[in-house]
Amino acid sequence: DLLMFLFFQLSFLPSSCSKIPFFLFKELYLTFQALRDNRIELVRASWHELSISVSDVSLSDEGQYTCSLFTMPVKTSKAYLTVLGVPEKPQISGFSSPVMEGDLMQLTCKTSGSKPAADIRWFKNDKEIKDVKYLKEEDANRKTFTVSSTLDFRVDRSDDGVAVICRVDHESLNATPQVAMQVLEIHYTPSVKIIPSTPFPQEGQPLILTCESKGKPLPEPVLWTKDGGELPDPDRMVVSGRELNILFLNKTDNGTYRCEATNTIGQSSAEYVLIVHDVPNTLLPTTIIPSLTTATVTTTVAITTSPTTSATTSSVRDPNALAGQTGPDHALIGGIVAVVVFVTLCSIFLLGRYLARHKGTYLTNEAKGAEDAPDADTAIINAEGSQVNAEEKKEYFI
């Protein structure tokens, strides 16, 4: 009856008002009922277009809308309005600070009010974690969803200070996802390392041993010991924070030094074996002046064939003699000494071999007669008398 009354009223409208023959329905609601909602506003009305705007859209606005043109016959057009449910900002639960190294951590990220159901993703150090549990539940209004995701992992010291991020993706967020972040705090036992100030400690030099300790809570202070006991010389071995400063080294400092660090979680230590080396002797560079080693032998061979005395003298230079070598200014002292000794031994060996090959006595004619003669004249006479057997006493040197 109300609808018939509306048609009756429209038939008596003046021609100036006939431009409003369009009516908008939402399912079975009449036009005037829809327009009575303060959120709905008539934007444009003409023979060709009737437009409305809806502010502060809610899920109840979802449904089918119909536009009718009351002609003979009536013409209609329908459209379905879908309202998206924007997910709430996600929340991370399950973290209790601090967490001990090696414990199993379970974090849950939850968001409500999404339509359709939102998607949740986990990131750790900007790297996505795939192995997670996903749960979707319908809300009481039977239109939106509550989505939760659970992440399980075992923590270690590398996770300390790491940000774990839960990200919610949904088509209503216009490519700007909502995120929740949780920074991890992991407690762990100390790790200790000893760093010497020099890799080759020498006698008389200072030495600093640094005990590098990392842990949470931070271990402070550290304890230094030597060979299982206290430091033997506190005046010369000074402990400053994490450093052990030995003012000058000597052989009695040799031993095992131990650095021990402790915090509320546990204890750890490191050892350093100190060996004090002798200071090397500093030698000036030695220059060897080259010398030429020669062997000269003079030999006289007498053959009595005539009264004439012949003497042949030859001077022979040893071809195997080695000249002295000049060592480089920066050569090792051992190499220099070895070269000098080698050259000397070679010279002695060659000279001895040469003399051994010419062993014997070679006499001139005068010398042969002078063996038993009391004076020079008698020696000459004896020498002439011995010429008879000269052919039998010939000696040849090759």
pLDDT digits (tens, 9 = 90+) for 236-261: 999 998 999 999 999 999 999 999 99
- Do 108 and 152 form a contact (C-beta atoms < 8 A)? no
Residues 6 or more apart in contact with residue 288 via CB below 8 angstroms: 324, 325, 326, 327, 336, 339, 340
* For range 335-340, the mean pLDDT: 86
Query: What stretches of 287-364 show up as alpha helix (H) in DSSP?
Result: 333-357
Per-residue pLDDT, 6: 33
* For range 380-388, the mean pLDDT: 54
Strand, helix or coil for residue 211: strand
Higher pLDDT, 142 or 12: 142
Q: What angle do CA 198, 204, 208 make, to 5 degrees?
A: 35
Higher pLDDT, 243 or 9: 243
Per-residue pLDDT, 46: 79
Per-residue pLDDT, 388: 47
Distances (CA, A) of 188 to 83, 185, 218, 271: 50, 10, 10, 21
From the centroid of its chain, how far is CA 39? Answer: 64
Quick check: 233 pLDDT over 80? Answer: yes
Backbone torsions φ then ψ of 308, nearest 5 degrees: -85, 135
Round to whole Å and give the CA distance between 110 and 365.
132
Closest CA to 304 of 382, 373, 359, 397: 382
Closest CA to 143 of 86, 187, 76, 90: 86
* For range 128-132, the mean pLDDT: 93
Per-residue pLDDT, 382: 60
DSSP single-letter state for residue 29: B
Quick check: 145 pLDDT over 90? Answer: yes
Round to whole Å and give the CA distance between 50 and 20.
9
pLDDT tens across 355-380, in order? Answer: 877 655 444 544 555 555 566 566 55
pLDDT tens across 49-80, in order? Answer: 888 888 999 888 888 888 887 778 888 889 89
Higher pLDDT, 213 or 387: 213
pLDDT tens across 156-168, in order? Answer: 999 999 999 999 9
User: Could you give the domains of the chain?
Assistant: 40-81 (no CATH), 91-184 (2.60.40.10), 188-274 (2.60.40.10)
pLDDT tens across 286-310, in order? Answer: 545 444 333 333 333 333 333 333 3
Higher pLDDT, 349 or 34: 349
pTM higher than the cut 0.85: no
Quick check: 272 pLDDT over 70? Answer: yes
Per-residue pLDDT, 370: 52
Computed over every residue of the chain, the mean pLDDT equals: 76
Per-residue pLDDT, 65: 86
Quick check: 29 pLDDT over 50? Answer: no
Quick check: 329 pLDDT over 60? Answer: no
Closest CA to 192 of 290, 258, 277, 143: 258
Quick check: 120 pLDDT over 90? Answer: yes
